[in-house]
Homo-oligomer: A and B are copies of this chain.
Amino acid sequence: MIIPQLYGGIEAGGTKFICVIASGPGHIVEEVRFSTTTPEETLENAIQFFQPFVSSGKISSIGVGCFGPLDMNPKSSTYGFIAPTPKPHWSNTDVRGTLQRGLDVPIALDTDVNVAGLGESVWGASKGFDPSLYLTIGTGIGGGYIKDGKPLLGLLTPEMGHLRIPHNRELDPFNGSCPFHGDCFEGLASGPAIEKRLGLTGVNVPENDAFWGIEADYIASALMNYILVLSPKKIILGGGVMQRRFLFAKIRQRVQELLNKYVASASVLENIDDYIVPPGLGNQSGSLGAIALAMQLTARAR
């Protein structure tokens, strides 16, 4: 019997941490979840979980998909730190360094959404489709673009959520909820924007509410821009807002209307139901993506 190589993965979210030991989707051998409290306590919990697997040599690397904003510039003195953030306690936390000092094993870190996109590209809905885009629409809006098997890194890690898109104030007088830009994409279409506008959370807004047509228009406008700029072969929409599955049909139709046959590809023109899709890994895109990141790190080291 061949025992598959195991890796460590952390889905480091702003609300909870999920730590797993796994070799892939069919083989998660250990999993633990705990609340995100102070950096000291939370990262120590993670270190305690992984320590025995590291000591016994059962895992050869750990991948981390971390909430942000994250400094991903390898040349920066604060590489792997969480940048200043309104989230209490976590500003300027050295996530990568703290884990690395606690665990004697190579550690790879990337943004939560890049890692989720990576997981989807290795085992999920975008497997075999490169480049691909993973977009989460929830508390915030963020995108992970996977090209040549790895997340795009430029001047910074692109976060993609704050696009400038058309906003018809007659139809939707809401000023937007973004502290930086007001009515950018995230300011108009994220979960908090929905709640602030309507006074109830997206999960409680009835399916027949006219607002969903407006929401679909914003998401479709942003998708049009991503398609024109990034030309992904697959688009995955995750996050809390996209749990309202009826949105997919509205968004797909609106993308086709907006593009108006400009993008001459069967993926958009004919097979859009297979082009804009939910995550293939369900709610495990992040934790399995962290495993995929660890696998890549080990493969590069060989």
Interface size on A, residues (CB 8 A): 45
Is A224 an interface residue, CB under 8 A from the partner? yes
- Main SS class of interface, A: loop
Q: Which of A28-36, A105-113, A163-171 contacts B (4 or more CB under 8 A)?
A: A163-171
Given contacts A155-B265, A158-B228, A229-B229, 8 further A-B contacts (CB under 8 A): A152-B230, A160-B229, A163-B225, A163-B229, A164-B258, A165-B165, A181-B258, A226-B229
In whole angstroms, what is the CA distance A145 to B69 when docked? Answer: 24
In whole angstroms, what is the CA distance A262 to B161 when docked? Answer: 11
Q: Is the beta-carbon distance between A228 and B267 smaller than 8 angstroms?
A: no
In whole angstroms, what is the CA distance A262 to B178 when docked? Answer: 11
Report which residue of A153, A180, A267 has the largest number of chain B beta carbons within 10 angstroms of its beta carbon. Answer: A180
Across-interface contacts of A262 in B (CB, < 8 A):
162, 180-181
Within 8 A of B (CB), among A149-199: 152-167, 180-181
Q: Is the beta-carbon distance between A157 and B229 smaller than 8 angstroms?
A: no
Q: Is the beta-carbon distance between B167 and A232 smaller than 8 angstroms?
A: no
Is A205 an interface residue, CB under 8 A from the partner? no
Across-interface contacts of A69 in B (CB, < 8 A):
264
In whole angstroms, what is the CA distance A225 to B131 when docked? Answer: 19
Known: A165-B165, A166-B164. A158 touches B229 (CB 8 A): yes
Across-interface contacts of A161 in B (CB, < 8 A):
228
Q: Is the beta-carbon distance between B230 and A158 smaller than 8 angstroms?
A: yes
Within 8 A of B (CB), among A212-271: 221, 224-233, 258-265, 267
Across-interface contacts of A224 in B (CB, < 8 A):
163-164
Query: A interface vs B, CB < 8 Å?
Result: 69, 83, 131, 143, 145, 147-148, 152-167, 180-181, 221, 224-233, 258-265, 267
Known: A154-B131, A166-B164. A143 touches B229 (CB 8 A): yes
Chain multiplicity (copies)? 2
In whole angstroms, what is the CA distance A232 to B158 when docked? Answer: 9
In whole angstroms, what is the CA distance A228 to B148 when docked? Answer: 20
A119 CB to nearest chain B CB (Å): 20
Q: Is the beta-carbon distance between B160 and A228 smaller than 8 angstroms?
A: yes
Write the chain B residue with the least CB distance to A235. Answer: B155
Known: A162-B228, A163-B225. A181 touches B265 (CB 8 A): no
A155 CB to nearest chain B CB (Å): 5
Q: Is the beta-carbon distance between A230 and B231 smaller than 8 angstroms?
A: no
Residue contacts A-B, CB under 8 angstroms, 24 given? A83-B264, A131-B154, A147-B154, A148-B148, A152-B231, A154-B233, A155-B227, A155-B232, A155-B233, A155-B265, A156-B231, A156-B265, A160-B228, A160-B229, A162-B262, A163-B228, A163-B229, A164-B225, A164-B258, A165-B165, A181-B258, A181-B260, A229-B229, A230-B230
Q: Is the beta-carbon distance between A156 and B229 smaller than 8 angstroms?
A: no
In whole angstroms, what is the CA distance A227 to B184 when docked? Answer: 14
Write the chain B residue with the least CB distance to A234. Answer: B155
